[in-house]
Amino acid sequence: MISKYTEIIDDFYDGFDFWKNEMKMSKCESLAIVIDESQRIINKGIFQRTCIYLAYGEIAITLEKISINAKRSIIKNLTEINLEDVKKELTQEEFEDFENRRRKILEKIDAIEVKNIARVCWYYNEFNEAINEFLNVELKKQQTIEKLVELTLSRFKRDCKNTNSEKSIVYITLIEHILEEYGLKVDKTVISGLVQFIKEFKVENIYNEQLNENEIQILLSRVNRLKEKLF
């Protein structure tokens, strides 16, 4: 029989995996949705709240950045608790597991960078990985360039509207893959929208969003390499 402790935490992880893997959302957005969906469980009592925030914290410390409110809420709900009350709900083995996981979260969460805009869904490394994974799958299907562009911009349509940084990463990664796969002989009229985007790229348009200075410079270097190839 699955214990209440295990069931609550597993359900939280299942919800997170659903939004991330099935609905193709970012980790940050998936986590925000699941914690919101978990309010009914949280409101049942201190034990349930603590279990949810344990799972919430474990996922949060794997992210590149989290909101200041999320960080404060996790710390508050994992420190301002009566451990004896939690212990009454758990076996000795479960309580030891809980304490080890709780300590790990509290040791690591201070090092997680705070994001500076609320609407951010993706961060640089995670987003690059998601786009590359998508493109690698589609390229194996030997799609035409036109179809590849159409599918990619459709898949990441919502993200391209979210921030200039996310749109830039999509366009830059897409054209990098096209040039790598098809070479410089590719018909530029087919990718005219992408080429125009690279030509008009302005680094100031991605400041004060989700990228840090190092990531901005990496993205700028990628753009400059593309400009050298295309123009």
* 57-75 per-position pLDDT tens digit: 999 999 988 888 899 999 9
Distance CA 179, CA 169 (A): 15
Report CA Rg, the chain: 22
Q: Show the beta-strand stretches assigned E in 154-216.
A: none
Distance CA 80, CA 21 (A): 33
Helix (H, G, I), strand (E, B), or coil: what is residue 2?
Answer: coil
More confident residue, 3 or 9: 9
Q: Which residues pair with 113 in a beta bridge?
A: 65
Assign residue 163 a region (left: φ > 0; alpha: ψ between -120 and 50; beta: otherwise). beta
Segment 83-94 shows an average pLDDT of 93
Q: Which of 113, 145, 132, 75 is nearest to 211 (CA)?
A: 113
pTM strictly above 0.75 = yes
Say if CB 110 and CB 79 are below 8 A apart: no
Domain boundary assignment for the chain: 4-114, 124-230
Cα angle value 182/184/189 (rounded, 5°): 85
Distance CA 12, CA 32 (A): 12
Band of residue 115 on the pLDDT scale cut at 50, 70, 90: confident
